[in-house]
Structure 1
Amino acid sequence: MAKKMNRRDFVRTVALSTAAFGGAALPAVVRAQQVPAYSRQLPGGAWHFPAREELLPFGHGVASGDPLADRVILWTRITIPDARGWDVNEVPDPQGIRNVDVAWVIATDPALSNVVNSGLVSTDASRDFTVKVDADGLNSAQTYWYAFTALGYRSPIGRTRTAPKVGDGITELTIGHVACTSWWQDYFNGYARMGERGDIDLITHAGDQVYEVSGNHMSSRQYPDAQGNPQIRGYEDIDNRAWHNIGECRRRYALYYQDENLLTAHLGAPFAVMADQHDYDDYSADDGESISRAQAGEVYHEWTPMRPTLADGSGRWRPFAAPNTQVEIPRGNDAFFSHRVLDYGDVASIILIDVRRHRDDNASNNKLLGDAQWDFLTQALLASKARGARHNVIVNQVNMSQVGTINTPAYSLYADAFQNTLGIDPRGPEIYTTAWGGYPEDRKTFYRWLRDNQILDNIVLSGDSHGWFGADLTEDPQLPNYIPLAGISPLTPVGVEMVGTSMGRPGAQDVVADELYWQQNGGRDAAPFNDAETYDQFYRPLGLAAAVAIETAAKLANPNLIYFNWKAQYGHTMVHLRTTEAILENWVSPQREFSTSAELVAQHTTPLGNPHLVPVPAPQAVFGQRNDSVPDSPQTIASDHAGAGDNPGSDTSTGSGAVGGWLLTAASLWLAQRLRQRKAALSNNQD
């Protein structure tokens, strides 16, 4: 079993990787970097910015995403402190630096000694000094390690993994799933639990990766102001209020990406993210400050390790970027296109769809998705079937399964008569009508298409609802067409859905608690933002009774709703794909504090060929056969980088984080090795 590297091992890894590269062996793109004078020291003044000082210039770590069988997107951001300000729209040349050369390498080992690809790209203020490269020439179904160098420093080393191809013999896949991740309301412990796993292949996100505003929901933490004091007004302070412009939108990503637990997840696994509505929120004020949805989408593409698609709705990739070329950032309306599919050989297809941005009431096939996205989705599913993939995982922003408030048995027998003559739905209104619930005919069309094409092993991973909704997918979730947990139904389910809970954004219990708390404290805008102790002690218990009542009523009205948890229990979902079934797990992590614990609160299986959620009475956590060594935690990396000089200036700088340090260490180790060899040779001659 691979073990986690401790700090000493990490330092040794850096040294060994340097020695392995050696002078001439070090990739030419790394040795050729022009390193301008650069200071990591925080200047104060107008530079108050969320970034991890000890990791600068890589103050937001590294990330990877959208893996294919032969390539993966690698991401980082170069942060350059400057007393004139943090917004690169206003200070495009921090410390006088307008362009930064950034080298990257990807290797088969955490020591970065067996490099399989490398490159050198340039970044600047036009893309917020972010870096996105497409590392190709990789083997399928293999774990890789990668890093960047810039301005005389090396980034943390990240771990990623390529997708399998057909015939690789891969029998399992381990996926983490999250949604609605709110930095203010949750310490992101669930992110760390996923990043620490040695078997994880991919982390999917159903949207609201970042929020444009705290919402004045009760905070677990606040980012300090320039004087180090907690910011406590949700709609006034820059790091809590809605972003006002492109610079503040980018700053919000910086706030999230400097989080230690999210850093751990980014270091540990590739991501596949689909944006929901908050990621694209706009803003307009009387003073002229504004940001459009398209501009927010551009920032989403800048800061997320996702692979861009063509702006024709086909879901096809844009031309792949060369090793020394940045991945293109879609601009304007092109930034609205991000539905796509990741092929995982004969194991699965990971299909990300967008129910927010492509609705078309004039569409002939599907108004919710639009005809172009409908064609993309159905073609992706047919291609998955043709190559023999066992599972389809559909990442979908908002509940796909219906959650009716009444529902009645034998609904399909008289529904048309009721609707045609009286214009009403006897099932009662659905709880969620912002997506599939508002387009029930489109959902019915999709379900029937899946059944007609015998594409049944679908696992839909959704978000938005801030609770776990586990359901079987069928048009009519009532007797006699649907028989709960029987394994057979006249109207066969076409898959299952697990709506992931949030990391902190309020579910039913906290929605009720919020309203009561605000009412007693002068309204939403005036209520204290940081009084979690009072909130948890007095208001959450009142909300719990309401949440339990809603859960009970919803399960009675919706027999296909197998699992429903709308309490203040936040965390992540794990999906384990196997040859005969899939296993879905729901994990709760502490919300108000850093923690290394997580609790498995529910586990379900769904058999291959006959999809339906079956609760596991005494769940035991599932782990894959693979156990890759885990990257060091950000805390360990920070302590190892702290010795680097504040102003290296050139490749002669020292410190474990500097490129110059790599070369010095390489030279020292090479000389020591030569001396040992020389001494051994002399000893042998004397013998």
Structure 2
Amino acid sequence: MTIINRRVFVLGGLATAGTLAVPSLASAAVPYPFTLGVASGEPDSSSVVLWTRLAPSPLNADGQGGMANADVTVDWQVSASSTFGSLVASGSVTARYADAHSVHVVAGGLAPGAEYYYRFRAQGHLSAVGRTRTAPAAGTSGSDLRMAFASCAHYESGYFTAYRRMAEDRPDLILHLGDYIYEDAATTGSVREHAGAEIVSLADYRRRYAQYKADPDLQAAHAVAPWIVVPDDHEVENNYANMVRNDNSPALTAAQWTARRTAAYRAYYENMPLRPAQAPTGNSIPLFRRVQWGTLATFHMLDTRQFRDDQACGDGWKVCADADLAGRSLTGAAQESWLLDGLDQHAATWDILGQQVFFARRFDTAGAASMDGWDGYRASRSRIQQGWRDRNVRNPLVLTGDVHRAWANDLLADYASPNSAVIGTELVCTSIASGGDGTANSTIPDVATNPHLKFYSERRGYTLTTISPSQVRADFRAVASVSEHGAAVSTLKSFAILDGTPGLVAL
């Protein structure tokens, strides 16, 4: 008998060891293939997606992670116990060379509202152990949901300490709202350097994901809870809008740009714990979707890149009358209709919009605003806000990434009137690392022209929420530094959002 390679995953007092006695295998001498860790995602009341990717040499230039041109059988196991004394689900799946040896297992037949542990076995090795959970049963709210959300993890800007601290908070669910990777070339003198030039090809994108996913802090965050993910722009190219490039370096023909998008979406799917329904087709990927968490919360996950009109008046901060044009849309007509139909279902206490770019109005004193956020698509924002008012949505809550700062905002029926009714709430997470260390500044910019903006921070971190039928508590968590590894985390500010009463209550 041979003892298969033993890997130990330790997090917040949990130590689970993957040790299994099996007959000797000729493949046991091959290098350890689970260098990119494990992940789970897209939970419903009876199933969850389990993910891994085999890559003994993650940074190989061909994007194949050191794997031979052959498919590999991968075994998977799910247990209610971290010791795997008994299994509740198990099986085998083929990791295909054509898919960079990534696997997406839909583990079904699980109990609702339950915690599980999972692991994989391939080529004589066991993976680390991941923790996941299912959503509550239909018609029930289940226990309070501890949910963290994050965005913007630029590898070169600093260490992913915030992912580690988020894992140590042991959330039940994690939302990632975009910029999981960055596409730019290596920059000499950065805290850490990207491998290679700006990514364009499928091999490039696969290699970049491997570099990010090899980070142990990111692996810890994936292993602690299921994720629900949506990309922003850097998973493809900075500031792109539908089929329009707004960052034209390197120079590409129209056909090369289409090929780049196709490669980017394929690599995103390969590296995320998404269901088969989200698999890309050519140069598009079906990402807007709903995830139901019993009667407690409906997560409406939006795609604000693939279907948007191009930025009005060019990118950046502008005074721009065209941003008010009625026909402009950030979501596209089909997604907007889908969202409003979903809000009309009243399926849960909280309707949560997981999306990428700043939603509330933010004008500077000259009236300029960012054309990349919803301020560049004001009619689109107005239709959605009026839509949830017309449908009597009880608790609309917008979650946002992108801007590398933490914000907490009241949403108004009429932003031109400071006394307008508060009709919703927006929470904006800061970045995991993008922008570097940041500063201790917490003075709200442009607050005189935007009194509905209630909190601001330039530190790096994430937002931790506790969602109950009576309220959402939001804790803005931050680390003091990302240029050095291992900084402690602290809570900068906490708010409550009360059921049936839109707007922020400072705690």
TM-score by length of 1: 0.63
3-state SS in 1 of match to 2:277: coil
Answer yes or no: is the 8 Å Cα contact 1:308–1:330 preserved in 2: no
How far apart are 1:157 and its partner, in Å? 0.8
Instruction: Tell me, yes or no, if structure 1 residue 137 matches structure 2 residue 109.
Output: yes
Q: Is the 8 A contact 1:398 1:463 kept in 2?
A: yes
**1:295 is the counterpart of 2:263:** yes
80, 102, 122: which one pairs with 1:150? 122
CA-CA distance at 1:392 after TM superposition:
1.6
Match 1:202 to one of 169, 173, 177:
173
Is residue 500–residue 573 contact of structure 1 (8 Å, CA) maintained in 2?
yes
Q: d(CA) in 1 for partners of 2:267 and 2:290?
A: 22
Which residue of structure 2 lines up, in the alignment, with residue 355 of structure 1? 304
Partner of 1:614: 505
Stretches of structure 2 lacking an aligned partner (at least 5 in a row): 1-9, 238-244, 311-324
How far 1:124 sits from its partner (Å)? 2.5
Are 2:160 and 1:185 aligned? no
State whether residues 178 and 204 of structure 1, in contact with CA within 8 Å, keep that contact through their aligned partners in structure 2.
Answer: yes
Instruction: Determine if the alignment matches structure 1 residue 556 to structure 2 residue 445.
Output: no
* 8 A Cα contact 1:70 1:162, kept in partner: yes
After TM superposition, the structure 1 stretch with the greater mean CA deviation from structure 2, 571-580 or 468-477, is 468-477
| Cα distance, 1:428 vs structure 2 | 1.7
Rounded Cα–Cα distance in structure 2 between residues aligned with 1:158 and 1:298: 24
Asked if 2 retains the 8 angstrom alpha-carbon contact of 1:107 and 1:117, the reply is: yes
Q: Could you tell me which residue of structure 1 aligns to residue 425 of structure 2?
A: 496
Distance 2:91 2:127 in 1: 15
1:113 offset after TM fit, Å?
A: 2.1
Letter in 2 for 1:87: D
In structure 1, the partner of 2:353 is 394
- The 8 Å contact of residues 208 and 275 in structure 1, kept in 2 or not, is answered as yes
Query: 1:332 matched to which residue of 2?
Result: 282
- Of 472, 476, 481, which aligns to 1:586? 476
SS at match of 2:138: coil
CA distance in 1, matches of 2:444, 2:67: 58
**Any unmatched runs of 5+ in structure 1?**
24-30, 41-55, 223-237, 311-328, 407-426, 483-490, 511-539, 617-687
Counterpart for residue 121 of structure 1: 93
Counterpart-to-counterpart distance in 2, 1:6 and 1:294: 42
Q: Distance in 2 between matches of 1:286 and 1:352?
A: 31
2:414 aligned residue: 476
The residue identity in structure 2 corresponding to 1:405 is D
Contact 2:56 2:67 in 1 (8 A): no
Instruction: Give 1:87's aligned residue.
Output: 62
Alignment partner of 1:368 is 2:368: no
Superposed, which structure 2 residues align to 1:453-532 within 5 Å? 453-477=391-415, 479=417, 481-482=419-420, 491=421, 493-506=422-435
SS at match of 1:503: coil
**CA distance in 1: counterparts of 2:40 and 2:218, whole angstroms:** 13
Query: Aligned letter for 1:264?
Result: A
Contact 2:119/2:127 (CA < 8 Å) preserved in 1? Answer: yes
TM-superposed CA distance for 1:334, in Å, is 3.7
Question: Following the alignment from structure 1 to structure 2, what is the Cα–Cα distance between the partners of residues 110 and 365?
Answer: 53
Larger Rg: 1
Equivalent position SS for 1:470: strand
What amino acid is aligned across from residue 504 of structure 1 in structure 2?
Answer: A
Task: Go from structure 1 to structure 2 and tell me whether the alpha carbon gap of 1:217 and 1:137 turns closer, same or farther (over 3 Å shift).
Answer: farther
Distance 2:198 2:63 in 1: 19
After the TM superposition, which residues 232-271 of structure 1 pair with which residues of structure 2 at under 5 Å, given as runs?
239=195, 241-271=197-227
Change in Cα spacing, 1:466 to 1:214, as seen in structure 2 (3 Å) is farther
* Distance apart, 1:575 and its partner CA: 1.3
CA 1:269–1:604 in structure 2 vs 1: closer, same or farther (change >3 Å)?
Answer: same
What's the secondary structure of 1:556's corresponding residue?
Answer: coil
- Over 3 Å counting, the alpha-carbon distance change for 1:154 and 1:579 in structure 2 is same
Q: How much has 1:6 moved relative to structure 2?
A: 6.8
Paired amino acid for 1:99: D
Distance in 2 between residues matched to 1:445 and 1:71, nearest whole Å: 35
In the aligned structure 2, how far is the partner of 1:82 from the partner of 1:575? 34
Partner of 1:39: 30
Q: CA RMSD in A?
A: 3.1
More strand by share: 2
Q: Is the 8 A contact 1:35 1:150 kept in 2?
A: no
Q: Is the 8 A contact 1:356 1:435 kept in 2?
A: no
Q: CA deviation at 1:158?
A: 0.5
Q: 5 Å matches for 1:445-460? A: 445-460=383-398
Q: CA deviation at 1:170?
A: 1.5
Question: Percent same amino acid among aligned pairs?
Answer: 29
Q: 2:54 aligns with which of 59, 78, 93?
A: 78
Measure how far apart 1:375 and its partner are: 2.1
Alpha-carbon deviations, 1:443-466, whole Å to 9, x = none? 111111111111141221111111
Q: Distance in 2 between matches of 1:88 and 1:581?
A: 45
Task: Write 1 or 2 for the structure with the bigger share of helix.
Answer: 1
Q: Secondary structure at the match of 2:360?
A: coil
Post-superposition offset of 1:354: 1.0
- What amino acid maps onto 1:251 in structure 2? R
Is the alpha carbon distance of 1:258 and 1:88 closer, same or farther for their aligned partners in structure 2, counting shifts above 3 Å? closer
Length-normalised TM-score, structure 2: 0.85
Contact 1:308/1:338 (CA < 8 Å) preserved in 2? no
Q: Mean Cα displacement is larger for which, 185-194 or 69-78?
A: 185-194
